[in-house]
Amino acid sequence: MPQGTSHFVIAANRLPVRWSPVENRWKPSPGGLVSAMLTSLQDVAPLHWVGWTGVAGDAPAEFGEGEEEMSLLGVSLSHAETELYYSGMSNATIWPLYHDGVRPPEFHRSWWNSYVEVNKRFCEAVASVSAPGATVWIHDYHLQLLPKMLREQRPDVKIGFFLHIPFPPADLFARLPFRQQIIEGLLGADVIGVQTNRSRDNLRRTAIFLGAAEAERDNLLVVKDKAEAEYKVVVERFAIGIDVARFEEAAQSTAVQQRAEEIREMVGVEKVLLGVDRLDYTKGIDIRMRAFGELLSEEFFAPGECSMVQVAEPSRSNVNQYVELREHVEQLVGKVNGLHGQLGRQAIHYFHKSQPFEEIVAMYLAADVMLVTPLRDGMNLVAKEYVTARQDDTGALVLSEFTGAAELLRDAILVNPYDIDGLKRAINEAVRMPTADASAKMKRMREAVSGNDVHDWVRDFVNCLVATDTESN
C-alpha cells in the first residue's frame, strides 16, 4: 500500500473535528454519530476521512493527537467558496429543493460553478489517499458529482454514496438547471443509499426519466460510462439509526436523571413539551409554536398545566432563509410568552444555542411529550433518541408523517404538520394519553429503534458495497 493511503476512505463535506478556540485544539465533533460510525468501521481501520473544517482558508496539515485509527485530510475552501458552494448551491439550492421545495430554491450559475470546482477538489483529495482497489464512502448532498468524477479518475476503487437528506420527486428534481450533471454524478457510484423507500423510488424514477439509467431489477439500474460500457448501480434504502447503547447509558445515569428532575422543577408545570432541532425551516419549529400558542389561547390547558421547551441549535447563519427563520421564531416565542407567560413561568423556554449531550438526554427524560414536526426530513434522529431515552416506557411522541422516522415509528401520533388544527389535536392527545396506552406504544417504538441502530446501518451499507460485483461494474 503506498504511504499515506488507506483501503477505506470516507468523504464528507465536514471533517469529524471542530476547532475549539478555548482549548486551542481540534476536538472530535459532538454528536456521537461519527464516533459510532468509526466504532463500526474498526475492522477496516486505519482509514482516511476527507472533508472541510467548516472554516474558510487553508486546511491545516495536522489535526493533533488521536489519529492512529483514522487520518484526516482537510480540503480547503476559500471565503468565496463557502459562500457559493456551501451557503449557496448546497444550502440555498439543493437543500430546499430536496426538502420538497419548502422554501424556493435559488439557481445561480456562479454557485453551480463553484460546486463543480469543490467536487473536483474533493476528487483529487480522495484519489490521493485511496490505495489501489480501495473502498470509498461518500456522504451527502454537497458531493453529488464526486462519484462520477472518482469513477473516471480511479476505476479501480469501489464507490458508495449515501444521501442523508430526502431525494425529491422527479418533477421537482427536474427544475434543477444542472439536473443531468447531478444525476449522472450520483450514478458514478456502485451503491447509492438513501433513508426511505420514497427517496429510493424517487431516485430510480428520476434516473430513468432523465435517460441517465435503465432499470434492471427493483433496486438495480444499468448505466453506461463514457466508453458506452455498461455497469450496474444498486439503489437501496438504508435507514440510519442512532447509537442506542450511548443513549441508554446516559438515560440510566444518576446524574442525568437528577438533572431531569431539576429541569422539571424549574419548568414547574405538570406536562413538559419538548422540541430539539437545528434552527432550520424544514423542522416546522414555528408551526408547533403556533399550534401550542393557539391551544393556550383557546384554554385547552389549565394555567400551569403545560410549558414547551425548545432547543434551536444555531445553523447556517450566513444563509438568508435561516436569518429570516430565526427572526420569525423569536417573534413567535415573544408573542406566545407575552400572552401566556407569568412571573416565574414561561409558556415557551427557548434556547438558541447547542446543548451538551447529557443535557439533551436529561431534557428527553424530563419531557412528557416530544414534538417532532418537520415539513420534510430525511430521517430525524431526535425522534429515535427520545424513544430510546424513555426506558420506563412513559411519554408520547408527536411525529410528522414527512420524516423518514415515520416509516418505522408507526406507534407515534403521526401528524401532517401543514394542518395546524390536526397538529393541535395531536398535541392535546399526547398530553392526555392514558398511561397504559402510552406505555405499550413507547415500548414498541423503543424496540423498533434498538432493532436497527447506527452500527446495523454502517454494517448493512458496507456489506452491500463490498458485495457488489466488481467484474460487472
Instruction: Kindly list the residues in this chain that would bind ligand G6P in the complex (CB under 6 A).
Output: 14, 140, 164-165, 315-316
CB-wise, 165 or 426, nearer to ligand G6P?
A: 165
Rounded to a whole number of angstroms, the minimum distance from the CB of residue 164 to ligand G6P is 4
Spatial CA neighbour of 259 closest among 397, 351, 361:
361
Residue 263's CB is within 10 A of a number of other CB atoms, namely 19
Rounded to a whole number of angstroms, the minimum distance from the CB of residue 149 to ligand G6P is 19
Spatial CA neighbour of 306 closest among 280, 288, 319, 321:
288
**Burial grade of 108 (CB within 10 A; 0-12, 13-18, 19 or more):** middle
Distance in angstroms (rounded) separating the CA atoms of residues 386 and 365: 8
Rounded to a whole number of angstroms, the minimum distance from the CB of residue 55 to ligand G6P is 12
Q: Please, which residues have CB within 8 angstroms of residue 104's CB and are 6 or more apart in sequence?
A: 96
CB-wise, 164 or 232, nearer to ligand G6P?
A: 164
Rounded to a whole number of angstroms, the minimum distance from the CB of residue 315 to ligand G6P is 6
CB-wise, 195 or 206, nearer to ligand G6P?
A: 195
CB-wise, 258 or 317, nearer to ligand G6P?
A: 317
Rounded to a whole number of angstroms, the minimum distance from the CB of residue 23 to ligand G6P is 21
CB-wise, 82 or 450, nearer to ligand G6P?
A: 82
Which residue is nearest to ligand G6P, using beta carbons? 164
CB-wise, 165 or 191, nearer to ligand G6P?
A: 165
Contact criterion met (CB below 8 Å) for 78 and 307: no
Rounded to a whole number of angstroms, the minimum distance from the CB of residue 363 to ligand G6P is 20
**Measured CA angle at 386 (ends 380, 387), to 5 deg:** 100
CB-wise, 140 or 453, nearer to ligand G6P?
A: 140
| 62 alpha-carbon distance from chain centroid | 28
Please count the CA atoms within 13 angstroms of the CA of 194 that sit on its side-chain side: 25
Rounded to a whole number of angstroms, the minimum distance from the CB of residue 30 to ligand G6P is 12
Distance in angstroms (rounded) separating the CA atoms of residues 212 and 183: 7
